[in-house]
Chain A
Amino acid sequence: MSEQPQTSRRGSPLPWVLSRILGWSPVTLLTGCSATHITFLDPQGPIAQAQRQHFWFVVAMTMIVVLPVIIQTPWILWRYRYGGKAPYRPHWDMSRWLDVMMWGVPVIVVAILAVVLWQQTHRLDPYRPLDSDKAPLQVQVVGFDWKWLFIYPEQGIATMGQLVLPADRPISFQLTSATVLQTFFIPALGGQIDAMNRMVTKLHLQANHTGRFAGKNMQYNGGGFHHQRFTVRVVDDRQFDDFIAHAHRQGQPLDRQRYEEVLVQQGDTADAARALGLTSYQRGEPIRFAPIPRDLFRGIVDDAPFESAVHNPAPHQQAAMHPVAYQALPPKQQTPPKPTLPQDKETSQ
């Protein structure tokens, strides 16, 4: 594979770096309170909020057992230094009472942590739908080398580079990968989950506010890995409808051919935009697709040919409604599948 032209920004970064540093106070550094929310320490949704709380709780609990070590070690060192006056008991090597303490306290700490861990793990299970009176928005996510495709099955559109979500409404993600393992992650909203070829994982998130959040892949998958980022734009309901309408109006049709010639090729979102002829594309902006094949997601998962470009949103018929990702797998195709990969790898070497 050839080099990534985008990464080769050369020239002196120094003056620019200094100007950046001077603008930051430690607090903003820690919370990353920039235009884009980048961390769960600055949570924008219920899941991330609970995770932040749990994080500090674990830190505090472990401090009970860790602080004594950090404080007392220097003290012991000083008091019992060679040549000091403190009592010296070279044969003293056990004490019932201390034994009880040093097993007991950690056991209690771990017991408390374990109880909370059990509850929180269940409560924050990514597969668990969120409680809400609004029906969740279905989003299907497909990971490619090195970009994400977001399919809105109920709306019959798809985007790349930007994920647009309505505020205050639960989102129900289904994820898969058209290539190697990758991990879908929007820190300010909640945890990450793996996306794997031929498999479907699920994730439930919700945003409390409108705003822009960072999203990314966390699992290394090759040279363009660091470019596999996207912006999450959370908007109110009206804007969301506008977005959908806009996509239907302006979207590029997505069919088998485009899928294979653009999406499946290695390259990041900007490369895809270039291949689609979107010359003025800016990173973080959406590439819109509409109409899209109805069984696009499922076709990708099964690596089965999907019907081309029928613009026909079929709400609530998606397999997402089933308790198990989807049950009725068609028999696996008999022929070995075409490699879904750019074959140019070998030849370009």
Chain B
Amino acid sequence: MTRTAMRHPGLNLGPAHADAEDTREEMIFGFWVFMMSDFVIFGLLFATYVVMLGGTAGGPGPHELFEMKSVFIETLILLTSSFTFGMASLALKYREDTKPLVIWLIVTLLLGVAFIAYELKDFHTMFGKGGVPSRSGFISAFFSLVPLHGLHVLAACIWLIALLGQIAVHGLDSFVKTGLLRLAILWHFLDIVWICIFSLVYLGGLT
């Protein structure tokens, strides 16, 4: 991979972006630690979900509620967005002009919004089938886990918009760069959480 020495997790911008390398290192390490704390939250919710699988209380279970097709589409959207964010990161690292960066970011943002929209539609269908959290412990556990991921994506999208705003106002300064690097970590991390969700919740449930 990169020959430049890695100073922090995620993409390293290297010597060409030496402005504020040191604070960046701290910022990104700190964000990484935060992600890990968040990861523990997700981990515990996963464990809780598994433990609550039996609590359907006679209500609908995974087979009645989940649809493979929409999950698959959501997965593809999120995966692609991870890739487009990667392209944005490269544009940040190797290009001086903001245009390709902004374009990639906007594509990523659209994918993120599409993901949320699709997920909402999915939940709506579930509600239609009687899959409301007040119905059973199992559905409650589902709705305490999966929408939390969705909320994270939403937060990431808002952050992305804020960063686009910062680019518009301040240009590509070191604050924006650090912000983008951190957001990249969040974005990829959400993809990882999604892998766990589709494997354990959806595919596991549909097996």
Binding site for B on A (CB under 8 A): 331-334
Contacts and interface: CB of A to CB of B under 8 A. Distances in A.
B54 to A, nearest CB: 11
Interface string B40-59: 00000000000000000110
A159 to B, nearest CB: 33
Contacts of B58: 331-334
A334 B59 CA distance: 8
Interface of B is mostly: loop
Kindly state the interface size class of chain B when it binds its partner.
Answer: under 10
A212 B11 CA distance: 73
A334 B130 CA distance: 13
Nearest to A336: B134
Interface of B: 57-58
Nearest to A337: B57
Contacts of A333: 58
B132 to A, nearest CB: 12
Nearest to B55: A332
B68 to A, nearest CB: 27
A347 to B, nearest CB: 23
A332 B58 CA distance: 6
A333 B57 CA distance: 8
Nearest to B56: A332
For A331, A332, A333, A334, the residue with the greatest tally of chain B CB atoms inside 10 Å of its CB is: A332
Nearest to A331: B58
Contacts of A331: 58
5 contacts: A331-B58, A332-B57, A332-B58, A333-B58, A334-B58
Contacts of A332: 57-58
A51 B189 CA distance: 51
B80 to A, nearest CB: 42
B31 to A, nearest CB: 39
Nearest 3 CB-CB pairings of A with B: A332-B58, A332-B57, A334-B58
B55 to A, nearest CB: 9
A331 B58 CA distance: 7
A340 to B, nearest CB: 16
Contacts of B57: 332
A332 to B, nearest CB: 5
B138 to A, nearest CB: 11
A30 to B, nearest CB: 43
A330 to B, nearest CB: 10
B34 to A, nearest CB: 35
A333 B58 CA distance: 7
Nearest to A334: B58
A74 to B, nearest CB: 44
A334 B58 CA distance: 6
B61 to A, nearest CB: 13
B177 to A, nearest CB: 47
Nearest to B58: A332
A338 B58 CA distance: 16
B124 to A, nearest CB: 23
Nearest to A333: B58
A125 to B, nearest CB: 23
